[in-house]
Amino acid sequence: MSEETKQKLKGYDTTIVYNYKEHPNVISGRCDNCNNAQFESSVHNFIFLRKCRNCGMTKSI
């Protein structure tokens, strides 16, 4: 990531999978870390994961 992109992030740790119940979206349909609206979705062990395409922040929905 460029230095300009790092400054726009809000400091969430992108190596942690956040739980949606504990950390709901600040703005519906947007990443809490970078405000991006594009996600990659996957299912592992019946858990729906949503990962931001820009910064990599992951939430289990």
* pLDDT, tens digit (0-9, with 9 covering 90-100), for 11-53: 899 999 999 999 999 999 999 999 999 999 999 899 999 999 9
Q: What is the pLDDT of residue 28?
A: 93
Q: Computed over its alpha carbons, how large is the radius of gyration of the chain?
A: 11
Q: What is the pLDDT of residue 58?
A: 95
* Residue 28 CA: distances (Å) to CA of 16, 22, 23: 20, 15, 12
What residues contact 9, with CB distance under 8 A and at least 6 apart? Answer: 33, 34, 55
Q: What is the pLDDT of residue 11?
A: 85
Q: What is the pLDDT of residue 8?
A: 72
What residues contact 51, with CB distance under 8 A and at least 6 apart? Answer: 39, 40, 41, 42, 57, 58
Residue matched to tokens 């400091």: 11
